[in-house]
Amino acid sequence: MQTEAMVMRATGGPEVLERATLALPVPGPRQVRVRVRAVGVNHLDIWARKGLPHVKYEFPHRLGADVAGEVEALGPGVTTAKFKVGDAVVINPGVSCGTCERCLLGEDTFCRSYGILGENIQGGYARHIVVPDANLVAMPACLSFTLAAAVPLCFLTAWQMVVRKGCVKPGQTVLVQAAGSGVSSAAIQLAKMLGARVITTTSTDAKAERARLLGADETINYTTHDFVAECKRLTDKKGVDVVIEHVGGDVLSKSVLATAWGGRVVTCGATTGFAATLDLRHIFFRQVEIIGSTMGPKGDLFGILRLIEAGKLKPVVDRVLPLWSAVEGHKLLEARNVFGKLVLEVD
């Protein structure tokens, strides 16, 4: 039996993505085959497509970390008490051994075998995917497949940054860089839910308006204003308590300058560059913390989905395209013509 997918046989530009026929994957012990109905597009897909130095690809490689679909087949050892064929599910993107000390502590992102779907593990740009049963979460009835596919990676990442590492508290001021990204659209909502004042940066007035609708209190157009000076002005020269950052390069360097004494800069990526120049006096003298963050523990997705069911958080989908238009989707994301998430629907 066969299935279809969008694959890459080499790293490079969007044009390396192509439609292909593959063997239908068979679930092994404690694995489940899911009929993919929707898959989100992330900046991680762009980086993986271009080639990551720490990843050894098994071509043809499939991108796609955020998957929603239906259980189609159960492997040996998977009981119907947990999931049954036909159940609507969301897939947790992080895969770990599940038995080491870090996994059992709920710190699976530190597992030595940790991987992310679509990066160093075959992802969801396909009609079918096989994953460990531990990675399945029941999809809330209030969500469509396309909305559900906009949740996992960006909300897990934002939760880890805002809640676990940023330790955002009521009354604090939080700067969320680049409001239009999936992670930032989630981080704005989380910071507001925790009672913080949210400042965010955008490149256009249209994106600024959408950020305000998500709860941002102040928006800064970084193409026309210096966000460091604006943050100082908006906080009576104090600076912000926490920065949520994934841009890298000069933005990371300037984010340090925008913080208050004892502030925190939490970073999970570097979309504009991996190299940043820091004046260390701002780190040790003002006691500013720079904290790295990657994804989040699988267990956090359960609580996130409950908050979405309760209407306290919402996935943000800019547009939906067919899976077979993944090339167009990548071009739109790279051109920054997306606010929130772009989702690929799988027929």
Would you say residue 302 lies in a domain? no
Would you say residue 304 lies in a domain? no
**114 and 164 together in one domain:** no
- Say if pTM beats, i.e. exceeds, 0.85: yes
Would you say residue 139 lies in a domain? yes
Would you say residue 297 lies in a domain? no
- Residue 210 pLDDT: 96
**99 and 207 together in one domain:** no
**6 and 143 together in one domain:** yes
- Residue 54 pLDDT: 84
**139 and 172 together in one domain:** no
Rounded to whole angstroms, the Cα distance separating 66 from 313 reads 17
Domain of 335 in residue numbering reads as 2-151+315-345
Inter-axis angle of helices 152-159 and 182-193, to 10 degrees? 50
- Contacts (Cβ under 8 Å, ≥6 apart) of 184: 158, 176, 177, 178, 200, 244, 246
Tokens coding 177: 């860089």
Give the angle subtended at the CA of 313 by the CAs of 161 and 85, to the nearest 5°. Answer: 100
Q: What is the pLDDT along the chain (347 residues), one digit of tens a residue?
A: 999 999 999 999 999 999 999 999 999 999 999 999 999 999 999 999 999 888 889 999 999 999 999 999 999 999 877 889 999 999 999 999 999 999 999 999 999 999 999 999 999 999 999 999 999 999 999 999 999 999 999 999 999 999 999 999 999 999 999 999 999 999 999 999 999 999 999 999 999 999 999 999 999 999 999 999 999 999 999 999 999 999 888 999 999 999 999 999 999 988 777 788 888 998 999 999 999 999 999 999 999 999 999 999 999 999 999 999 999 999 999 999 999 999 999 99
**334 and 240 together in one domain:** no
Domain count, the chain: 2
Cα dist. 305→34, 41, 138, 214 in Å? 19, 19, 9, 17
**102 and 166 together in one domain:** no
Would you say residue 195 lies in a domain? yes
**214 and 172 together in one domain:** yes
Cα dist. 309→92, 141, 253, 303, 312 in Å? 17, 8, 38, 10, 8
Would you say residue 186 lies in a domain? yes
**159 and 145 together in one domain:** no
Find where tokens 């820091």 sit. Answer: 278
- Residue 301 pLDDT: 97
- Residue 267 pLDDT: 96
- Residue 27 pLDDT: 96
Q: Which helix or strand (DSSP H or E) is residue 233 part of?
A: helix 227-234
**146 and 159 together in one domain:** no
Would you say residue 300 lies in a domain? no
Please name which of 213, 217, 151 lies closest in space to residue 186, comparing C-alpha atoms. Answer: 151
Taking the CB of residue 225, how many other CB atoms lie within 10 A of it? 13
- Residue 79 pLDDT: 81
Give the angle subtended at the CA of 198 by the CAs of 340 and 320, to the nearest 5°. Answer: 10
**93 and 22 together in one domain:** yes
- Residue 319 pLDDT: 97
Please name which of 220, 222, 225, 255 lies closest in space to residue 240, comparing C-alpha atoms. Answer: 255
**104 and 169 together in one domain:** no
- Residue 81 pLDDT: 75
Tokens coding 104: 């059992």
Would you say residue 309 lies in a domain? no
**332 and 254 together in one domain:** no
Please tell me whether residue 60 adopts helix, strand or coil conformation.
coil
237: CATH: 3.90.180.10
